[in-house]
Amino acid sequence: MKVALIGRYGEGDIIAGPERVARELYSELKKNDLQVVFIEYFFSGYKNSSLYKKIFGGDVPNNNSILRLGILPFLRFLIKERFEIIHITNIQRFILFLFLIKPFIKSKLVTTLHGFLKYEIAKKNFWMKRYFIDLWVERMLIEKSDVLFFPSKLLYETFNGYYKISEERCKIIPNGVSSIFFKQQTTFPLIQKSLKLVFYNGFNDEIKKGLIELIDQIKNVKYDVKLFVIGSETYVTSPNNLEISFVRLKSQSELIYFLKDKHFIIKSTSFDSFSIFVAESMVLGIIPIISGNVGIKEFIENELNGFIYSCESSRALAELINKIFENKYDLNSISMNAKKIYEQLNWSNISQQYLSAYQSVV
């Protein structure tokens, strides 16, 4: 089987979740009996990007089968190679050009959707940054793809409620966790004077993460809390019981070291289709505290391997944290159970689900 993965592969060690999924899936598929190539674009911000290369360029970074192509070589390559499967691993604007040749190639088109852009993209700078193009790409992929992959039931139901997608075209395949996290031996750290919570705030403010809303809920906690915010810095006012530290984005190895003395990974009530960061933290024994608006809730059983708090009550999170401080739960047991998520979310398992899906459409 010939498979082309298309999307953003990314540069360097610090990349966003959709790029992480693309890299891990590509790496796993190469271990199987099929021909697989990854195709990306000369994105603005890449070291060797230029207008000329965006149209005519061709490059093979790192001496492997990852191709970086301009628009014309990209279209020519897809027509020439006759792939059985073209898999859009993450939504990028250059994919619009694929629809010019779609009627002339026999490849099955499948797409992984990581979020619902209509809900998640901030309205600020919507027109200036041309986010309407992203929405256009998303709609086209929904209409033209033979199969749509969703990382969670929550995301599938959100899309289906808006687009009314045929169930036969949809498959739920969760995101996986790199083996580097599983190889770490960790124990749940002792809670001393304060809880240490970690919050992922993303690369920028384009996707709403809900940090301010989270802080507003934590101010009702009766005890001292330390909140470590990884990623984009946001101007916030810290209540008396909360110490906030902003931390730069980290590579996987740096993240593992940083998390070794942290207690909980926390999410706000903002919509999140899955959260790879939560899954990675759980494999390290970090206990998740999430709302019902986070897709990974499908792998969390409340008070067994993590906590799920209600979105309906403004005090639900604070009440939960107060109970944690008051030793109402066996945190060591919950931490051990959290690690077991790797049994389901290892990339060997996830890649086999993708392979099975490919085989069902060719």
Per-residue model confidence as pLDDT tens digits over 219-273: 999 999 999 999 988 888 888 899 999 999 999 999 999 999 999 999 999 999 9
Average pLDDT, the chain: 92
Residue 289 reports pLDDT greater than 80 = yes
Instruction: Give the separation between CA 148 and CA 293, rounded to whole angstroms.
Output: 21
Spatial distance between the Cα atoms of 144 and 148, rounded to a whole number of angstroms: 10
Residue 123: pLDDT over 80: no
Write the class of the CATH domain 179-344: alpha beta
Band (277; pLDDT cuts 50, 70, 90): very high
Whether residue 201 contacts residue 209, with contact meaning beta carbons closer than 8 Å, is answered with yes
Res 129: pLDDT: 64
Residues across the chain:
362
Reduced 3-state DSSP string for 66-86: EEEECHHHHHHHHHHHCCCEE
**For residue 128, what pLDDT is reported?**
58
- Asked whether the predicted pLDDT for residue 139 surpasses 60, the reply is yes
Residue 356 pLDDT > 90? yes
One-letter amino acid for residue 192 of the chain: Q
Q: Which residues contact 123 (CB under 8 A, 6 or more apart)?
A: none
Beta-strand pair 170-172/195-200 = unpaired
Q: What per-residue confidence (pLDDT) applies to 337?
A: 97
| Average pLDDT value for residue range 18-39 | 93
* pLDDT above 60 for 73: yes
Digit-coded pLDDT (tens) for 296-324: 999 999 999 999 999 988 899 999 999 99
End-to-end Cα spacing for the chain = 9
Give the Cα separation of 19 and 183 in Å (integer): 22
In this predicted structure, the answer to whether residue 122 has a pLDDT above a threshold of 70 is no
265, amino acid identity:
I
Is 1.20.58.220 the CATH number for 2-176+346-361? no
Please report the pLDDT score of residue 314 as a whole number.
86
Buried b / exposed e over 239-277, threshold 16 CB at 10 Å, is eeebebeebebbeeeebbeebeebbbbbbbbbbbbbbbb
Do 2-176+346-361 and 179-344 have matching folds?
yes
pLDDT value at residue 126: 57
Give the mean pLDDT of 345-362.
96
Q: Is the pLDDT of residue 63 over 60?
A: no
Residue spans per domain, the chain: 2-176+346-361, 179-344
CA-CA distance, 276 to 114, in Å (whole number)? 11
Query: What is the percent of the chain with per-residue pLDDT over 70, rounded to a whole number?
Result: 96
pTM for this model (two decimals): 0.92
Per-residue pLDDT band at 203 (split at 50, 70, 90): confident
Average of per-residue pLDDT across 324-330: 94
List strands edge to edge, sheet with 58-59: 58-59, 66-69, 35-41, 2-6, 85-88, 108-112, 147-150, 170-172
pLDDT in tens, 156-202: 999 998 888 989 999 999 999 999 999 998 899 988 888 999 999 98
Residue 45 has what pLDDT?
86
